[in-house]
Amino acid sequence: MINYFFIIFLLTVLCTRVFVFLFPISAPTIGKFRVHHWMYGIVGILFGLIIHSVIIYAIGLGLFVDELAYLLMRGKTHEDNYSKISLLGTAVFVIIVFLFKNYLILFFV
């Protein structure tokens, strides 16, 4: 189950990166509030924990981690999301999830 979790997580990050690169559209806006995929990720993490679904949890974590470096560097543009620092930061967070994957799924074992 641990490898299953990480594969789903990694595929989510990779698919999100490719999709956002190929289709550089602005995030939906509600009023003046812009919705980003890290927000969907938090919802996915919580929902996955509530319904005890490792698949939804892994997808949610992937969506969250994919945008974490961009958030921490206070990125503003699409180019910021694909800067070297953002891509390196995302890679570092993926490695951190890999290293701690045994602990991240304790709730599901």
Q: What is the per-residue pLDDT across 21-38, written as a single tens digit (0 to 9) for each?
A: 888 777 777 787 777 788
Which one, of 27, 26, 23, lies nearest residue 36 by Cα? 27
**pLDDT tens, position by position, 65-98:** 998 888 887 766 666 667 788 888 899 999 999 9
**Higher local confidence (pLDDT), 8 or 86:** 8
For the chain, counts of helices (H) and of strands (E)? 6, 2
pLDDT above 90 as % of the chain: 45
**Domain locations along the chain:** 2-108
Under the banding of pLDDT at 50, 70 and 90, the label for residue 41 is very high
Give residue 75's pLDDT. Answer: 65
